[in-house]
Amino acid sequence: MTIVLKWIAKAILTGFSFVLLLWPFSPRPACWFLRNLFRFGTYIRPKNYSALRARVEIARDLRYGPSNKKCTLDVISPAAPSGPLPVVFWLHGGAYIAGDKADVEGYCVQIAARGYIVVNVNYPLAPEAVYPAGVRSAADACSFIAARADTFNIDLSRAYFAGDSAGAQMSAQFVTAQIDAEYAQKVKIPQVVPRECIRGMGLFCGLYDAAAYAGNFDSHTPVSYVVKRVFWGVTGNAEWRHGPEIEEASVLRHIPPSGFPPVFLTDGNIGTFTEQGMAYAEALRDCGTPVEDTFYPRSVTLLPHEYQFNMRRAAAQHAFGLFMEFLERTKK
């Protein structure tokens, strides 16, 4: 037994040392570390969730792309739809390296229970798949659904794109590419959804100027060390600060001159991207985009990143109600 324990201890120490040795030369250990932090999501169900769940049906794990096992989606629909319904494409968060559609299923159920089809999309994660693989997969998911719109009772002329955290940035980037042909060509994201079919966006706790955010991590603290390697993993470029990827993904810097369809935007107020959300909302308004933004002062309540998923909190309930009102106003 003693020999076995010594062997196990030696194996663990060897593995740990190997990770430490690899850390400076690869983004994978940092990405693996953060991926495990995001494993269980942040969604907390409302008290009436069972009743909401009974009102919807879910077609799970439909494969929309052959290139990656993550290319699956769920279609969440009202159990008794009355005619073709508007569709909300949702991209989950997870810093581009983690997360899963299962993490946001409950929130998508809440939306579907109010009379919408929700397409809950998984996409390839970094560092296995580098930028902009996830956004390109959104185009594949849209094409997959378009070919089956009649099957799922979807009205594609009333499409919304929404997401949380990384998914918010990706949704914004995807819609930017659908509207701006020059930008779409630059970032090589296919144009598959006509502008007139996009009724709006729902953006929750997103990072909209990654280039500016990256500038906050010039120090040699452990947090900076991890963040730098995450960006390395996302872009596939160890010299990402000097590459084009971060600037391209900074949607705040690539707003189409004609603006966007209506946007709903919200964020918390501690440990999140509040200032970027406010700046993006203002920049969108300057281009003539109708924006409904919701932010809460710290003096009232402290709301962390992804606050909207804690449906036992008054602010999350309030934000959800506002988002549903936004959908109702813009779908007509």
Tens digit of each residue's pLDDT (9 = 90 or more) over 18-69: 454 456 678 888 788 778 777 767 899 999 999 999 999 999 999 998 766 7
The predicted pLDDT at position 258 comes to 87
- Is residue 99 within 8 A of residue 41, CB to CB? The reply is yes
**How is 10-40 classified by DSSP, letter by letter?**
HHHHHHHHHHHHHGGG-SHHHHHHHHHHTTT
Confidence at 238, pLDDT banded by 50, 70, 90: confident
Q: Which CATH number is associated with domain 28-330?
A: 3.40.50.1820
Residue 323 has pLDDT above 80, yes or no: yes
pLDDT digits (tens, 9 = 90+) for 100-127: 999 999 999 999 999 999 999 999 999 9
Residue 4 has pLDDT above 50, yes or no: no
Q: What's the pTM value of the predicted model, to 2 decimals?
A: 0.91
Of 209, 176, 179, 188, give the one whose Cα is nearest residue 132.
Answer: 188
| Three-state DSSP class for residue 215 | coil
The predicted pLDDT at position 7 comes to 55
The residue behind tokens 């993006």 is 280
The predicted pLDDT at position 104 comes to 97
Residue boundaries of the structural domains of the chain: 28-330
Share of the chain above pLDDT 70, in %: 90
Confidence at 5, pLDDT banded by 50, 70, 90: very low
Residue 311 has pLDDT above 90, yes or no: yes
Per-residue pLDDT averaged across 313-322, rounded?
A: 98
Rounded to the nearest 10°, the torsion over CA 234, 240, 243, 246 is 50
Of 127, 124, 134, 110, give the one whose Cα is nearest residue 58.
Answer: 110
Could you tell me the two tokens for 157? 């002329």
209 C-beta neighbours (distance < 10 Å), count: 22
Could you tell me the two tokens for 159? 């499409």
20 vs 30: CA distance, rounded Å: 10
The residue behind tokens 């009772």 is 153
The predicted pLDDT at position 101 comes to 97
What is the per-residue burial (b if ≥16 Cβ within 10 Å, else e) of 55-74? Answer: ebebeeebebbeebebbbbb
Residue 79 has pLDDT above 70, yes or no: yes
Question: Phi/psi class of residue 216: alpha, beta or left (left: φ > 0; alpha: ψ in -120 to 50)?
Answer: alpha
pLDDT digits (tens, 9 = 90+) for 173-207: 999 999 999 999 999 999 999 999 999 999 999 99
| Three-state DSSP class for residue 264 | strand
User: How long is the chain?
Assistant: 332
The predicted pLDDT at position 17 comes to 42
Task: Give the chain's mean pLDDT.
Answer: 90
Confidence at 16, pLDDT banded by 50, 70, 90: very low
The predicted pLDDT at position 23 comes to 60
Confidence at 134, pLDDT banded by 50, 70, 90: very high
pLDDT digits (tens, 9 = 90+) for 245-292: 999 999 999 999 889 999 999 999 999 999 999 999 999 999 999 999
Cβ neighbourhood burial of 52 (10 Å; 0-12, 13-18, 19+)? middle
